[in-house]
Amino acid sequence: MESSSDDAFKVKWTRFKGHYVPFLLQNLEGQCPLICLSNILFLNRRLELPKGCKQIHFESLCTYISSALPDFNSEWVTSILVSLKKGLLFNCKFDSTKVYIESDAEQLFQTFGIPIKHGWIADPIAYGPLTRLNYDELLEKLTIYQCKIEEEKLKSYVEKDLNEESGESGREEKVIKEKEESRGDLEKEFEQMKLSEDHEEGVECVGKEAEDGREDKNDKRCNGAGDGHTGDDKKTEDERKVDEKKADEANLEGKREDDDFDDDTATMAMDFLDRYATQLTEYGIKVLKHEIPEKKLVALYRNNHFLVVTMHNGRIFALVTDSAFYDHQCVWESLENSEYFDENFNHYVPKETEVKKQSLLAKWKRAFKRKPRR
């Protein structure tokens, strides 16, 4: 396995549960599932590094983790770690902390006894209809709803254009009708003149038409019985109605869920996604506090990242793994108010040297972002 700068992880050391332990820092997007798994193993002392180690490569990390699972095939473990390094597909329901990921990755977490949770839980009182859905289903229903709205808008625009066109055509039809009526009057006068000149021929024609009329009447009486519905026709009609009823019943169940996702539910869903875009709710924090034991380490999916979280004195904290904090003494971040804490869970106050480093870094970033003169 070839190593590169992308495969190297910075190592930071801290104290946890009375022991001096390492944990990895993240410097690239997509690596968080791998870093989350590794850091829980380091903090729980399932994995150990040489004292003072400041960096570890991915290949060495795979060796450490595989050695912790002697009963499993090392190639299988490595293949899962590679997938964790690239990221994981995620799904969740809005009524519990359960997370859905790829089966092999889930099996690896379960093998080490690491729970995977999320706090993106909808309050059943404020967002009741959403608790029946998972994230993928909600996105699908919102997409269908938006398509229907766009179709209705398009339909209204088309109908408006047709109405405008029909108004123009209506005026043209009125002119044409007036011309046809005028022509009809002339033709009527011409016919009256012709009948007066050919009176005798007209009488014969009338007699003949009367005779033909009687024959047509007799024909209609003879054919009258054929106009009624036969038993077979009635049977066919009944069968058609039954088939239509069955088709309606078959489609009813499929349409019922879509019908439930009305304007109010769509507005509620968009409000939920917008208000809790960081994928953590107040209700979710309450549920997590109830489920996570004191000082227990779990993997938490939040804001498109996998975090290491623990419970300390009734509060939930996340391990700070951003490489920008390598030289800082802050180790934990409160999920409730985003405040930083040190390794002893005391409020983190930056030291003077850390403030100077941060100030110099900010100045360098501002200078780097300046536009060159033309």
| Residue among 93, 96, 115 nearest 106 (CA) | 115
- pLDDT at residue number 177: 67
At 171-228, the pLDDT tens digits run 666 656 666 666 666 566 656 665 555 555 554 544 555 455 555 544 544 444 444 4
Q: Which amino acid is at 168?
A: E
Chain position carrying tokens 């009524």:
95
Evaluate whether 269 touches 130 at the Cβ level (below 8 Å): yes
Cα angle for residues 326, 332, 344 (degrees, 5° grid): 100
CA nearest to 66, candidates 37, 90, 93, 95: 37
Query: pLDDT tens, position by position, for the chain (374 residues)?
Result: 445 556 899 999 999 999 999 999 997 776 899 999 999 999 999 999 999 999 999 999 999 999 999 999 999 999 999 999 998 999 999 999 999 999 999 999 999 999 999 999 999 999 999 999 999 999 999 999 999 888 887 777 777 667 766 656 666 666 566 666 666 665 666 566 655 555 555 545 445 554 555 555 445 444 444 444 455 555 577 667 666 766 666 555 544 555 578 899 999 999 999 999 999 999 999 999 999 999 999 999 999 899 999 999 999 999 999 999 999 999 999 999 989 999 999 999 887 655 555 555 555 455 444 444 33
User: Is this prediction's pTM over 0.95?
Assistant: no
